[in-house]
Amino acid sequence: MTQNAAAIASERELGTALSSKVQHLRRLKNMSLDALAKRAGLSKGTVVAIEQAKANPSIGVLCRLALAFSLSVTDLLSETSQEITDDPIERTKSATLWQTPQGSEAKLVASTSGRTMFEMWSWTIAPGDVHWSDAHSRGARELVSVLRGSLKVTVGSETMVLQAGEAARLLTDQPHSYAAAGDHAVSFSMAVLERSEET
Protein backbone atom coordinates (compact mmCIF):
# COMPACT_ATOMS: atom_id res chain seq x y z
CA MET A 1 0.00 0.00 0.00
CA THR A 2 1.40 3.38 -0.98
CA GLN A 3 1.80 6.16 1.57
CA ASN A 4 -1.00 8.12 -0.14
CA ALA A 5 -3.37 5.11 -0.10
CA ALA A 6 -2.54 4.49 3.56
CA ALA A 7 -3.37 8.11 4.41
CA ILE A 8 -6.73 7.84 2.59
CA ALA A 9 -7.57 4.55 4.34
CA SER A 10 -6.66 6.10 7.69
CA GLU A 11 -8.95 9.09 7.01
CA ARG A 12 -11.86 6.74 6.17
CA GLU A 13 -11.34 4.76 9.37
CA LEU A 14 -11.21 8.00 11.36
CA GLY A 15 -14.42 9.24 9.71
CA THR A 16 -16.31 6.02 10.47
CA ALA A 17 -15.13 5.88 14.10
CA LEU A 18 -15.92 9.56 14.64
CA SER A 19 -19.38 9.17 13.11
CA SER A 20 -20.34 6.44 15.58
CA LYS A 21 -18.79 8.22 18.57
CA VAL A 22 -20.47 11.58 17.90
CA GLN A 23 -23.89 9.94 17.42
CA HIS A 24 -23.45 7.95 20.63
CA LEU A 25 -22.32 10.93 22.72
CA ARG A 26 -25.01 13.22 21.36
CA ARG A 27 -27.75 10.72 22.20
CA LEU A 28 -26.19 9.95 25.58
CA LYS A 29 -26.31 13.66 26.45
CA ASN A 30 -29.79 14.02 24.91
CA MET A 31 -28.61 16.73 22.52
CA SER A 32 -30.28 17.57 19.22
CA LEU A 33 -28.23 18.14 16.08
CA ASP A 34 -28.98 21.85 16.40
CA ALA A 35 -27.87 21.91 20.05
CA LEU A 36 -24.59 20.15 19.30
CA ALA A 37 -23.90 22.42 16.33
CA LYS A 38 -24.52 25.52 18.45
CA ARG A 39 -22.41 24.28 21.36
CA ALA A 40 -19.53 23.33 19.04
CA GLY A 41 -19.77 26.51 16.98
CA LEU A 42 -20.32 24.48 13.80
CA SER A 43 -23.03 24.46 11.17
CA LYS A 44 -25.75 21.83 11.46
CA GLY A 45 -24.71 20.60 8.01
CA THR A 46 -21.19 19.92 9.26
CA VAL A 47 -22.48 17.92 12.23
CA VAL A 48 -24.84 15.92 9.98
CA ALA A 49 -21.98 15.19 7.55
CA ILE A 50 -19.78 13.99 10.42
CA GLU A 51 -22.51 11.71 11.79
CA GLN A 52 -23.02 10.28 8.30
CA ALA A 53 -19.24 9.76 7.89
CA LYS A 54 -19.31 12.05 4.84
CA ALA A 55 -16.92 14.64 6.25
CA ASN A 56 -13.16 14.78 6.70
CA PRO A 57 -13.05 17.08 9.73
CA SER A 58 -10.04 19.27 10.35
CA ILE A 59 -8.15 19.26 13.64
CA GLY A 60 -9.97 22.50 14.52
CA VAL A 61 -13.37 20.85 14.03
CA LEU A 62 -12.29 17.86 16.14
CA CYS A 63 -11.25 20.24 18.92
CA ARG A 64 -14.61 22.04 18.78
CA LEU A 65 -16.53 18.74 18.97
CA ALA A 66 -14.38 17.49 21.85
CA LEU A 67 -14.99 20.69 23.81
CA ALA A 68 -18.74 20.46 23.15
CA PHE A 69 -18.73 17.09 24.92
CA SER A 70 -16.15 18.18 27.57
CA LEU A 71 -13.73 15.55 26.29
CA SER A 72 -10.20 15.55 24.96
CA VAL A 73 -9.69 14.92 21.25
CA THR A 74 -8.07 11.62 22.22
CA ASP A 75 -11.20 10.56 24.12
CA LEU A 76 -13.44 11.70 21.27
CA LEU A 77 -11.56 9.44 18.85
CA SER A 78 -11.12 6.45 21.15
CA GLU A 79 -13.59 3.61 21.39
CA THR A 80 -14.21 4.31 25.04
CA SER A 81 -13.71 7.56 26.96
CA GLN A 82 -11.18 7.27 29.73
CA GLU A 83 -12.21 8.43 33.16
CA ILE A 84 -10.09 11.17 34.67
CA THR A 85 -8.21 9.69 37.60
CA ASP A 86 -6.42 11.14 40.61
CA ASP A 87 -3.31 9.08 39.83
CA PRO A 88 -0.16 11.23 40.00
CA ILE A 89 1.11 9.63 36.76
CA GLU A 90 -1.05 8.32 33.93
CA ARG A 91 0.33 6.85 30.71
CA THR A 92 -1.21 8.26 27.50
CA LYS A 93 -1.34 7.07 23.90
CA SER A 94 -0.49 9.32 20.97
CA ALA A 95 -2.67 9.62 17.85
CA THR A 96 -1.68 10.88 14.40
CA LEU A 97 -4.51 13.17 13.25
CA TRP A 98 -3.00 14.59 10.05
CA GLN A 99 -0.50 13.25 7.57
CA THR A 100 0.46 13.72 3.95
CA PRO A 101 2.23 11.59 1.33
CA GLN A 102 5.22 13.97 1.59
CA GLY A 103 5.81 12.91 5.21
CA SER A 104 4.09 15.71 7.13
CA GLU A 105 2.21 14.70 10.26
CA ALA A 106 0.53 16.13 13.33
CA LYS A 107 0.58 13.81 16.34
CA LEU A 108 -1.52 14.44 19.45
CA VAL A 109 0.81 13.23 22.18
CA ALA A 110 -1.31 13.80 25.30
CA SER A 111 -4.43 15.68 26.33
CA THR A 112 -6.80 16.30 29.20
CA SER A 113 -10.60 16.20 29.23
CA GLY A 114 -13.13 18.49 30.83
CA ARG A 115 -14.31 22.04 30.30
CA THR A 116 -10.67 23.11 30.02
CA MET A 117 -8.74 21.10 27.42
CA PHE A 118 -4.95 21.08 27.39
CA GLU A 119 -3.11 19.27 24.60
CA MET A 120 0.49 18.49 23.66
CA TRP A 121 1.32 17.99 19.97
CA SER A 122 4.34 16.95 17.90
CA TRP A 123 4.44 18.23 14.31
CA THR A 124 6.56 17.68 11.22
CA ILE A 125 5.78 19.60 8.03
CA ALA A 126 7.55 18.85 4.75
CA PRO A 127 8.44 21.60 2.26
CA GLY A 128 5.44 22.44 0.08
CA ASP A 129 2.87 21.19 2.61
CA VAL A 130 0.65 23.64 4.49
CA HIS A 131 -1.66 22.82 7.36
CA TRP A 132 -4.69 25.13 7.37
CA SER A 133 -6.80 25.24 10.52
CA ASP A 134 -10.22 26.69 11.14
CA ALA A 135 -10.67 29.02 14.09
CA HIS A 136 -10.66 27.22 17.43
CA SER A 137 -13.04 28.22 20.25
CA ARG A 138 -13.02 31.80 21.55
CA GLY A 139 -9.83 32.64 23.44
CA ALA A 140 -7.96 29.49 22.35
CA ARG A 141 -4.20 29.78 22.86
CA GLU A 142 -1.28 27.86 21.39
CA LEU A 143 2.40 27.77 22.27
CA VAL A 144 4.77 26.59 19.55
CA SER A 145 8.45 25.77 19.88
CA VAL A 146 10.55 25.00 16.79
CA LEU A 147 12.93 22.07 17.21
CA ARG A 148 14.43 21.85 13.67
CA GLY A 149 14.06 23.91 10.51
CA SER A 150 12.05 27.09 9.96
CA LEU A 151 8.33 27.45 10.64
CA LYS A 152 6.04 29.91 8.87
CA VAL A 153 3.04 30.65 11.08
CA THR A 154 0.05 32.68 9.90
CA VAL A 155 -2.74 33.72 12.27
CA GLY A 156 -5.45 35.83 10.67
CA SER A 157 -3.58 38.40 8.56
CA GLU A 158 -0.29 38.22 10.52
CA THR A 159 2.64 36.01 9.50
CA MET A 160 5.85 35.20 11.37
CA VAL A 161 8.81 32.92 10.60
CA LEU A 162 10.34 31.10 13.56
CA GLN A 163 13.77 29.46 13.47
CA ALA A 164 14.98 26.42 15.42
CA GLY A 165 15.15 27.32 19.11
CA GLU A 166 12.50 30.05 18.83
CA ALA A 167 8.96 29.94 20.22
CA ALA A 168 5.76 31.99 20.01
CA ARG A 169 2.36 32.47 21.65
CA LEU A 170 -0.63 32.35 19.30
CA LEU A 171 -4.27 33.38 19.68
CA THR A 172 -5.93 30.78 17.47
CA ASP A 173 -9.62 31.66 17.68
CA GLN A 174 -9.23 32.75 14.05
CA PRO A 175 -8.07 30.84 10.93
CA HIS A 176 -4.39 29.96 11.04
CA SER A 177 -1.78 27.88 9.22
CA TYR A 178 1.64 26.28 9.56
CA ALA A 179 4.22 25.57 6.84
CA ALA A 180 7.93 24.89 6.39
CA ALA A 181 9.60 28.21 5.60
CA GLY A 182 12.66 26.68 3.92
CA ASP A 183 13.71 23.79 1.72
CA HIS A 184 13.82 21.35 4.63
CA ALA A 185 11.14 19.85 6.85
CA VAL A 186 10.29 21.70 10.04
CA SER A 187 9.66 19.94 13.36
CA PHE A 188 7.95 21.70 16.25
CA SER A 189 6.08 21.02 19.44
CA MET A 190 2.79 22.66 20.34
CA ALA A 191 0.69 23.10 23.47
CA VAL A 192 -2.99 24.06 23.08
CA LEU A 193 -5.33 25.47 25.73
CA GLU A 194 -9.06 25.73 25.04
CA ARG A 195 -12.03 26.26 27.33
CA SER A 196 -15.58 25.28 26.45
CA GLU A 197 -18.10 28.10 26.66
CA GLU A 198 -20.94 27.88 29.14
CA THR A 199 -24.29 27.29 27.43
Running along the chain, 199 residues long, what does each successive block of 10 average in pLDDT? Answer: 49 74 89 91 90 85 86 78 67 88 95 86 97 89 98 97 98 96 97 77
Q: Domain check: are 104 and 185 in the same one?
A: yes
Q: Domain check: are 72 and 149 in the same one?
A: no
Q: Domain check: are 117 and 63 in the same one?
A: no
Q: Domain check: are 54 and 126 in the same one?
A: no
Number of domains present in the structure of the chain: 2
Q: How many alpha carbons lie under 13 Å from residue 39 in its C-beta half-sphere?
A: 18
Q: Which of 59, 176, 187 is nearest to 119 (CA)?
A: 59
**What is the per-residue pLDDT for 163?**
98
Within a domain: residue 148? yes
Is residue 171 a contact partner of residue 162, using CB atoms and an 8 Å limit? Answer: no
Within a domain: residue 162? yes
Q: Domain check: are 109 and 176 in the same one?
A: yes
Within a domain: residue 182? yes
**What is the per-residue pLDDT for 165?**
98
Domain that includes residue 140, residue range: 95-195
| Measured distance CA(93)–CA(107) in Å, rounded | 10
**CA angle, 176 as apex, 62 and 126 as ends, to 5°?**
90
**What is the per-residue pLDDT for 53?**
87
Within a domain: residue 86? no
Among 49, 77, 105, give the residue marking a domain's end.
77
Among 77, 106, 135, give the residue marking a domain's end.
77
Among 26, 42, 77, give the residue marking a domain's end.
77
